[in-house]
Chains A and B, each alone.
Chain A
Amino acid sequence: MPGDGALAALQRRVVAALREPIGGASRARTDLPPRDVAASAAFVATANDLFTPSSALTAVERLELYHRQYWYRLLDSIAEDFPALRRALGRVGFWDLVEAYLEATPSRSFTLRHLGAGLADFVAAHPERVRHPVHAEDLARLEYALCLAFEAGARPAVAPERLGDLRLALQPHVQPLALRTAADTLWRRADAGRPRGRVAPPSPTPSRHVVVFRDDLVPTLERVHVGAYAILTAIAGTGSLDAAMARVAEAGVLPRRDAAARVTAWFQRWMRRGWLCEAEPDAAACDRRGPTL
């Protein structure tokens, strides 16, 4: 089925119209800050070229019904997925950012659950958009990781005696993150409904390490030692316990005191939680994303 016919051309015009900024009375019904936005000439032309007027509505008004529904749906979804970021940035800062992100980033997934996939990278690329860009980036990355943990898979956990002879991976819901801010604290405060507290300045390099994971079906996170973070990310990167430990030892990030005992305790904790699993034989073969039929 070629996507270059008249139907595809029509659909491209409608999607382009839907993605135009929202203004007027439709905008006033959202939390977006006031902004003078008028329907573009392209929007008006699309409406008049494609649609008939009804006895009650012009063609432009009819297209506008779809246009506003598009925006309402996306705005509701992203606000639900990033509650701590919303609190941290405040109403105007958050919605300014979200609007800029959605204008720049079309949804590329069948599900709105993935709408915020690029928000952290967008903040990193456009730090001028927000007042606390490093906090915003960390929080966006953290909250999207929590979204992924909600729905990620879980494979059979590796038994301790097999750790040395299998190609290892982290459970899909286990995501180590390195932060430059106290984003985890901000998230916990937001999650508990407590006041945001002081926003400390970011550190120049990652200073706080957390693991986002799913515990009894609930996405959550915990702070970990930089050495634990390094081991987990090295296992994810190498698939080998020996290679991971060698890489971490070389990096010099293990605890200075009682390193062996602490590493053992970390592994015991991870094994209890089933965080380590056998890597899939060929990740590419398991990726069902393919060409359309």
Chain B
Amino acid sequence: MTGNRFNGFSTLGIGVGLRAPHVAHVVTRRPDVAWFEIISENFLVDGGRPLHTLDRIRERYPVVQHGVGLYLGDATGPSRAHLARVKDLVRRTGTPWLTDHLCWGSVDGTFSHDLLPLPYTAEVARHCARSIRIIQDTLEVPFAFENVSSYAAYRESTMTEWQFVTEVAEQADCGILLDVNNVYVSAVNHGFDPLAYLAGIPAERVAQIHVAGHARHDAFIIDTHDHPVADPVWDLYAAAIARCGATPTLLEWDARLPSFAEVHAEARKAAAHAGRGAELARAG
């Protein structure tokens, strides 16, 4: 694993998303995990248990910050106050790179607390790229955005999601956190080929990969992070590795959370699927 400039040339392997119910286990049992991803907003506090816990985790593990609140597509641009808080946390964690979502979530100071999809237009791509440049200039750490899962498509979109992702990443000159579960969820919900998505994005910009579980309904899939990773998502992950090469990979599990051992075992499956991806790459 050689890494790239969007993940600080990281050689981190397979990580696990740190969740509050697992913290005591991680601190006391010190499981053999390559790295943990934290949700930045959970630690944007002035004191108390969150920061105490974070410092203890940091003593033993690399920590990568993953945000849910920069809202790259908010019409009003990134919040100076939020960026200042995130920058304080960057100094504390020493995160080698930082990620957030290619979405919007608030307007006029009212928050949806959701990762809402954007219209895929050239104008919106330019707007997001401008926001990302502000974020990169302010935070001074490599930045990558995550593709979100979506359940709705805008009438005014003029390009595919992967074209939009590419436009934003290249205009902002930033990395991509490729969430293959989100690609799969959106592919089913919108009826596109997930392999076309993978083929359409600039592989050299993929800084990190997310895998997660989802919930299947009759007419759609919801990105719930409450199940093991589905087989088609592992297949997509192998295809992503074949295209991007070895990439830091993280399992997200947020709801109906099983024991840490179970989550960790699920994350470790990524190694075998990555091996499958490497074989696919060798086979051409």
Contacts and interface: CB of A to CB of B under 8 A. Distances in A.
Contacts of A153: 46-47
Nearest to B84: A288
B214 to A, nearest CB: 13
A128 B104 CA distance: 37
Contacts of A65: 151-152, 220, 222
Interface string A82-121: 0000000000000000000000001111111000000000
Contacts of B151: 57, 62, 65-66
A107 B114 CA distance: 12
A110 B41 contact: yes
Report the contact-size class of chain B (Cβ under 8 Å from the partner): 35 or more
B72 to A, nearest CB: 12
Given A3-B76, A7-B75, A74-B113, A152 B48 contact: yes
Nearest to A111: B41
Given A51-B153, A65-B220, A15 B80 contact: no
Contacts of B49: 150, 217-218
A3 B124 contact: no
Interface in B71-108: 73-85, 104, 106-108
B284 interface: no
A163 B276 CA distance: 67
A56 B46 contact: no
Interface residues of A, number: 55
Interface in B38-89: 41, 44-50, 52, 69, 73-85
A49 B155 CA distance: 8
Among A7, A19, A70, A289, the most chain B Cβ lie within 10 Å of the Cβ of A7
Contacts of A289: 81
A290 interface: yes
B80 A112 contact: no
A11 B74 contact: yes
Contact of A8 (B44, B75, B82, B119): B75
Contacts of A205: none
A50 B46 contact: no
Contacts of A172: 46-47
Contact of B116 (A14, A106, A152, A293): A14
A151 interface: yes
A214 interface: yes
Contacts of B123: 6-7
Contact of B76 (A55, A69, A152, A292): A292
Interface of B: 41, 44-50, 52, 69, 73-85, 104, 106-114, 116, 119, 123-124, 127, 130-131, 134, 151-156, 189-191, 218-220, 222
20 contacts: A6-B123, A7-B75, A12-B108, A14-B116, A15-B106, A54-B191, A57-B219, A62-B153, A65-B152, A66-B116, A106-B111, A107-B112, A107-B113, A110-B79, A151-B45, A152-B48, A153-B47, A214-B47, A217-B48, A293-B80
